[in-house]
Chains A and B, each alone.
Chain A
Amino acid sequence: MAVIRLALIGMLTLLMASTLQAGAIEVREFDDPVMEQRYRSLTASLRCPTCENQAINDSDAPVSRDMRDRVYMMLMDGRADMEIRDHMVERFGNYVLYNPRLEGRTFLLWGLPAGLVLAGGVLVALVVRARRNASARELSAEERARLESLINRGRTE
């Protein structure tokens, strides 16, 4: 019982902490819903450079705030999403992208899953083909004689 109560208190504290944190993030008003959507998706896809694994829309770190301000300013300035992402990568590195770009360095990252699926498929195909060949082959005279004797032994017993 005490354990459950403790767990409940812990959960409540966590919940309160997360709402408190959300309170620290400024609210921005947009006239244009498309702009608002772009702002949301940009700030959700950029990673805070100083907190581990938090998007800048979810972090009250000073640098995240600066980045959100910059995203907002650049949006108002009529810049494209791509330009804004490039702007951040130029300063904070590829680390800030939650979706790493497909380039030489990340080729393995993107290619490995597809490569493994392909390799698995080839393996399965090979095994299936080998089995089919093995079962379709005719029995040799020797094998037939052995089979015959096994069957006969079964009958006599």
Chain B
Amino acid sequence: MTRRLLLLLPLIGFLGLSVFLYQGLSLNPFHRDSALMARDFPEFDMVTLEDPERRVDRSLLANGEVTLVNVWGEWCPECKREMPQLLDLADRGIRMVGISYKDTREKGLGFLQDFGNPFEVNIFDPDGELGFELGVYGAPETFLVDRDGIIRYHHTGYISARDVREHILPEVQKWQ
């Protein structure tokens, strides 16, 4: 009898593998952690979108406050759609910093005029230099930077009102 049961082993193995692989089908390959998770926000030295004379660097983000850094561009439709949610976050008193990613200055400023400006300041990144250091592969992307300037959370793509409730706000609270 036990020998008979042994014959079932390959079938059981096969079923186990099937379940494992089947689960893989429903995974979203874009839901993966940023390579920068739990690491320092990269060094940078760039000018702001608002004022070409003003230089900002990493100390902007390691000043004892939790900050949401949002990578956006005028050319990016999802960025426009998520602005109401970002304005809401700013209204709640969360510090927001923008990265104007691969845009001209005029287009970037026009975007803020049309869709509102939740950002304390916007880093001007026309060539996507800082974006590359952050491993950005498409806007919008949002990073949560803790008081010491360490990246603690990363959201790829559009932020819905539900994302704000279920992910962003709890994460901000966790690191505050």
Interface residues of A (CB under 8 A from B): 49-50, 52, 61-63, 66, 70, 89-95
Contacts and interface: CB of A to CB of B under 8 A. Distances in A.
Given A49-B137, A50-B137, A52-B29, A90 B35 contact: yes
A142 to B, nearest CB: 23
B29 A91 contact: no
Q: Which of B128, B132, B137 has the most CB of A within 10 A?
A: B137
A63 B32 contact: no
Interface string B126-160: 00100011111110000000000000000000000
A92 B35 contact: yes
A94 B29 CA distance: 13
User: Mostly helix, strand, loop or mixed at chain B's interface?
Assistant: loop
Contacts, number: 33
B34 interface: yes
A12 to B, nearest CB: 30
A54 B143 CA distance: 26
B56 interface: no
Interface in B23-76: 29-30, 32-36
A66 B132 contact: yes
Contacts of A52: 29
Interface string B70-98: 00000000000000000000000000000
Nearest to A63: B137
Given A50-B138, A52-B29, A63-B138, A93 B35 contact: yes
Contact of A91 (B32, B33, B102, B134): B134
B29 to A, nearest CB: 6
A68 to B, nearest CB: 12
A93 B32 contact: yes
A17 B137 CA distance: 23
A62 B102 contact: yes
Contact of B35 (A61, A62, A70, A89): A89
Given A62-B102, A70-B132, A93 B33 contact: yes
B128 A91 contact: no
